[in-house]
Amino acid sequence: MKGIIFFGDTVLMIRNTYGKGHWTLPGGRAKWNEALLDAVKREVQEETGIVIDQYHLVVTYKHVKEYKRDTVHCFAADAGTDQFKIDPSEVKEARWFPTQQLPDFISPNIKKFVVPFIQSHEKN
């Protein structure tokens, strides 16, 4: 699952310490018997230090890689602060981007399935 974290008209994106260096969203996998909502809360907090209680499901897509197929659930939330503290064991870099000025090197699935939602987001 992924957390789409907004602060005003910006969205928090991260680059992981592993993979190809694409910009992506905080997130990960649910633990055994962990509810998806609890998992996204935990993953966002572990990777960014941001604690958010209320999320809503906004995008679901299939991630297909070689012989593996996962369903990815993306939950959106508004952060009460723009302050974050990354976990350097998982996250190389994190940055708030204006929703209309996202970075070029975005994970292909995020670009295809999630960016349209991000760019249509209206700040509160």
What's the confidence (pLDDT) of residue 70? 86
Whole-number mean pLDDT of the chain?
93
115, 26 contact by CB (below 8 A): no
Global confidence as pTM: 0.92
Q: Would you list the domain boundaries of the chain? A: 2-116
72, 57 contact by CB (below 8 A): no
Q: CA-to-CA distance for 69 and 35, rounded, in angstroms?
A: 20
For 2-116, CATH number?
3.90.79.10
**Over the stretch 26-60, which tens digit does the pLDDT of each residue have?**
999 999 999 999 999 999 999 999 999 999 999 99
Using alpha carbons only, give the angle 29, 55, 86 rounded to the nearest 5 degrees: 55
**Over the stretch 51-63, which tens digit does the pLDDT of each residue have?**
999 999 999 998 8
What's the confidence (pLDDT) of residue 121? 85
Which tokens in the block code for residue 13? 């994106």
Q: What residue type is assigned to position 88 of the chain?
A: P
**Over the stretch 69-109, which tens digit does the pLDDT of each residue have?**
889 999 999 999 999 999 999 999 999 999 999 999 999 99
106, 24 contact by CB (below 8 A): yes
